[in-house]
Structure 1
Amino acid sequence: MPYDKALGTFFIRCRIKIPHQPFLSYLPILLSFLVLSPILVYIFNIVISYP
C-alpha cells in the first residue's frame, strides 16, 4: 500500500511537471550545443585549413 501511495504522488508530480517539460528537455540540448559548437567550429577550421 505505501508503494501505491508513492507511485500515485510520483504520477501526480509528473502530471504537474508536464507543462515545464519542453524547457527541461531543451535545456540539456541547448547546453550541449553551446559546449560542442566551439569544439566543432575548431575542428571544422582545422579540417578546412588542412591542405
Structure 2
Amino acid sequence: MANPTKEQITLRAYEIWEKNGNPSGRDLEFYEQAEKELNAGATEDEKSETFLE
C-alpha cells in the first residue's frame, strides 16, 4: 500500500474522533493515530478498537 494521503489521514482521524464521542482538544492525537494506522496497514478490526475509552 502506498503512503496515505493527507486527506485519507484526515478522514480516518475524523472517524476515530466520532467513535470517541467528539471530544474537543484531541485532534492532533487522533490525526497521529490515524497516520500510524494507515502507514501500518491496520485491519478494520484493529482500527475500530483504537482509542475507545
**TM-score, reference length from structure 2:** 0.32
Q: Which has the higher helix share?
A: 1
**TM-score, reference length from structure 1:** 0.33
Larger RCO, structure (CA 8 Å, separation 6 or more): 2
Q: Which has the larger radius of gyration?
A: 1
